[in-house]
Structure 1
Amino acid sequence: MVRLVGWLDQVPYTLLAIPLRLAVATVFWNSAMTKLANWATAVELFREEYKVPLIPPEIAAYMAVSIELSAPVLLVLGLASRPVALVLLGMTAVIEIFIYPQAWPTHIQWAAMLLVLLCRGAGSCSLDHLLRQRWMR
């Protein structure tokens, strides 16, 4: 058991960050694809069910799908991972607080993954890492 724990302690963060990035990217990408499959229905959901405060439904729908399309691509590439994680944490908070508060078990999973990415970054297998290496020379 001690050897197993020691071995697990040696797993590089990069190997953990890759599936985190892919998992979060998949959640938001799939949401964007659902909205784009029927845009009229998506806008109607924002108007009748989601009712995001202070933002007109059409603008909220465009904002949501824009984030849900761009953030996953950036996460998969490992580019601007920390700012993207912060934006998605904000979006998750809005969803949890204003739209689906009963879905907190799902949202806390998203938040946990995003917090790791926010605090630790994308790992060494990322464009963030390559750019940081180049700038530090």
Structure 2
Amino acid sequence: MRSAMIRAIVDTLNVFPQSLLQLLMRIAIVPVFWRSGWGKLENMEQAIGLFREEYKLPILPPGLAAYLGTAVELAAPALILVGLATRLATLPLIALTLTIQFLVYPVSYPDHLLWFAILVFILTRGPGPISIDALLASHTEPSSAAVYGRPR
């Protein structure tokens, strides 16, 4: 009796549409980076100061790092939200997440792990059918469907 009930619950969960999960993951990750980028854009001098005094990245000069970080934090989430070049757009955010984790705020690993997991999900599963990528894939050769994230 109990195993039948558990089986019914599992069967119900198994039909949850992956396309909805793909859309929700895209929507969920956008504000994390968008808010940070927008904050930098509103006060670029303060952002440069943060890169100079607090973040202290070893390779890039603070001004360049602030402008590049702002561009990535605004452009990539916008692409992910609409589902355009989605898989490609996850890559700089994954790199940014790893940089933040290992060079800036290592104690914030629970947040960074969550961001990383969502981004890797989007990277490996694609944006789903509710995306510009899927629309483009529907008008291209089948071999390009995997690039755009046509559902499997």
Structure 1 length normalisation: TM-score?
0.95
Task: Work out whether 1:125 is the aligned partner of 2:125.
Answer: no
> Hey, what's the Cα distance between the residues in 2 that align with 1:21 and 1:8?
21
Tell me the SS of whatever aligns to 1:55: coil
> Hey, what's the Cα distance between the residues in 2 that align with 1:110 and 1:53?
23
- Calculate the aligned-residue CA RMSD, in Å: 1.1
Task: Work out whether 1:84 is the aligned partner of 2:89.
Answer: yes
Q: Which runs of 5+ in 1 are unaligned?
A: none
Higher RCO (Cα < 8 Å, 6 or more apart): 1
Please name the residue that 2:148 is paired with.
none
- 1:43-92 Cα deviation digits (max 9, x unpaired): 10000000111100000000000001101110111011111112211110
Structure 2 length normalisation: TM-score?
0.86
> Hey, what's the Cα distance between the residues in 2 that align with 1:4 and 1:86?
36
> Hey, what's the Cα distance between the residues in 2 that align with 1:96 and 1:84?
19
Runs of 4+ in 1 over 4 A off after TM superposition: none
Structure ID, larger Rg: 2
Q: What's the offset of the Cα at 1:37?
A: 2.4
After TM superposition, the structure 1 = structure 2 runs for residues 1-137 of structure 1, keeping only pairs within 5 Å, are 1-136=6-141
Q: What's the offset of the Cα at 1:133?
A: 1.4
